[in-house]
Amino acid sequence: MNENHSPHDEHSLIEDRLGERARVYGMERAILVAVERPGEEIEGALDELESLADTAGISVVAVLTQKRLRPDRATFIGKGKVSELKAAASELGADVIILNDELSPAQARNLEKELNRKVVDRTQLIMDIFAQRATTKEARIQVELAQLRYLLPRLRGWGSALTRLGGGIGTRGPGETQLELDRKKIYRRVHALERRLAKAGSERELKSKRREASSLPHIVLAGYTNSGKSTLLNRLCQVDAFVEDKLFATLATTVRRGEVSPGRWALCTDTVGFIRDLPHHLVPAFASTLEAVRHADLILHVVDFSRPSCEEDCRTVLTILDQEVFASDDATRPVIITLLNKADLVDPEKALPTIFDDGLRISAKEGMQLDRLRERVRAVLDQGRERVSFLIPYARSSLLHHLSQQREVSICGYTEDGIEIEACLPTAEIARLQGAGARLRPSSSPK
């Protein structure tokens, strides 16, 4: 949502019309709250939560933690901490309380009642960031659907907005009638969005098929949010994709064609970054990213090596890919090259953890080790390909149009019999050209 919208803007999402507590707005002041269970380290999680708040435009005025065996069923943090939090919120002028975990509808309602302030959990915060920053039609539809589905079981908890016809929460009469009307509005909106999403998905599938029809290999840049994927895309393809040092700066896949190594062209896709504990409601918003990974010839897994949690970030991404892309037995796994980005910010003598044994230290921003990366990319893409020489009869010169799209084709000369070319092609493509009338010359040799 545009940060200039007011909570009562008639064009805001339906949860804003039902009550301001469903969203966060720029310039609000927040207190972050987390429960630390035995054996857990929450420092990194709180740093990430603060970064999420910053991305949403929220100012963090305090952080409150509590060690508990398990969260309190009623208020998540227990009565004593609720009193402490209420006092801190009053003293610091906090507008919103942001919990690091997902709250049940009852917990959110109880906390709001005790604190007399808006309470937002991590899932809502992430969805709100997506709503603010989504730029494509499909992404906006997916995010609104996620928000509405998350809202439905929580309608009863949004406070006085449901009492505007005189009925109280949990009572019979006009208030309950209004609640049911609101619920029906949401269901109608969900069905309408699902129809629009199906249409948008068909359009995306058509574009995907066009890319697959291209003879260029497909490289996908995947990784944790804010790991440097867009910066690397700019380096590899000499383009100017949007880059920002914030979480979820990229919320739509971006495809660019570039010369990823000398004479070797490819389609490169910058994807939406993953995050740990990804809200289930937002998984559909990653449809284009997961689809790109599924059809990739090569995956460049970009890891922010400067983050203390880089190992956990790496495992998070691999787990999501395993669960959402490669779960079926027939799923083809592309080659994955792990790139330890922002290595210029890390001690070069730092030992690599086992999970990064084959990782390549690079800096997309500084251009560090990108020549080595290009060599590795070319080595992977050239597997199963041969450097060949063809003679294409003039009668079959239409084959040149198809070959010219591959970028690794050069015309060597013109003879009485036809056009001489050299190319680096997959074995199957060589056989197809021979079947179409191109003649393989004896001088060809495997690469």
Tens of pLDDT, residues 20-41: 455 666 678 999 999 998 888 8
Residues 364-375, mean pLDDT to the nearest whole number = 93
SS3 14: helix
Tell me which CATH code domain 215-381 carries. 3.40.50.300
User: How confident is the model over 402-407, as a mean pLDDT?
Assistant: 61
Calculate the average pLDDT of the chain: 79
Taking 90 as the threshold, does the pLDDT of residue 8 lie above it?
no
385-440 and 215-381 share a CATH fold: no
The answer to whether residues 196 and 140 touch, using CB atoms and an 8 Å cutoff, is no
Mean pLDDT over residues 262-289, rounded?
A: 81
pLDDT of 157: 42
What band does 250 get if pLDDT is binned at 50, 70 and 90?
Answer: low
Mean pLDDT confidence for 134-158: 74
- Strand residue runs (E) in 262-400: 264-270, 298-304, 335-341, 360-361, 385-393
Mean pLDDT of 122-138: 81
Segments making up each domain of the chain, as ranges: 14-177, 215-381, 385-440
Contacts of 314 (CB under 8 A, 6+ apart): 224, 301, 303, 338, 355, 356
pLDDT mean over 102-129: 88
Q: What is the pLDDT of residue 265?
A: 84
Q: Cα 85 from chain centroid?
A: 33
Mean pLDDT to the nearest integer, 128-154: 79
pLDDT at 6: 40
Distance CA 99, CA 33 (A): 5
Mean pLDDT of 128-157: 76
Q: For 105-127, what is the mean pLDDT?
A: 88
The larger pLDDT score, comparing residue 71 to residue 167, is at 71
pLDDT(407) > 70: no
Residue 2 has pLDDT above 50, yes or no: no
Average pLDDT over residues 135-142: 77
Q: Where are the beta strands (DSSP E) in 284-408?
A: 298-304, 335-341, 360-361, 385-393
φ, ψ for residue 2 (rounded to 5)?
-60, 130
Q: Are 229 and 223 in contact (CB under 8 A)?
A: yes
Reply yes or no on whether the pLDDT at 106 is more than 60.
Answer: yes
Is the model more confident about 110 or about 279? 110
298-346: per-residue pLDDT in tens? 999 999 999 988 999 999 999 999 988 887 766 678 899 999 999 999 9
Q: Are 260 and 237 in contact (CB under 8 A)?
A: yes
Residue 190 — very low, low, confident or very high, per pLDDT cuts 50/70/90?
A: confident
Residue 396 is predicted with a pLDDT of 85
SS3 (DSSP) at 336: strand
- Per-residue confidence (pLDDT) for residue 176, from 0 to 100: 47
Query: Residue 165: pLDDT band by 50, 70, 90 thresholds?
Result: very low
pLDDT over 60 at 439, yes or no:
yes
What pLDDT sits at residue 191? Answer: 85
Identify which has the larger pLDDT, 439 or 179: 439
Residue 394 has pLDDT above 70, yes or no: yes
| 175 pLDDT tier (thresholds 50, 70, 90) | very low
Are the C-beta atoms of 363 and 340 separated by less than 8 Å? Answer: no
Higher pLDDT, 1 or 329: 329
Out of 3.30.70.240, 3.30.1330.10, 3.40.605.10, 3.10.129.10, the CATH code matching 385-440 is 3.30.70.240
Q: Is the pLDDT higher at 138 or at 75?
A: 75
Return the SS3 of 108: helix
Average pLDDT score over residue span 346-367: 90
Range in 241-245, 263-267, 364-368 the model is least confident about: 241-245
Q: Confidence class of residue 15 from pLDDT cuts 50, 70 and 90? A: very low
Residue-level pLDDT at 242: 62
User: Check: CATH 3.90.1520.10 for 14-177?
Assistant: no
Q: What per-residue confidence (pLDDT) applies to 136?
A: 73
Whole-number pLDDT of residue 291: 82
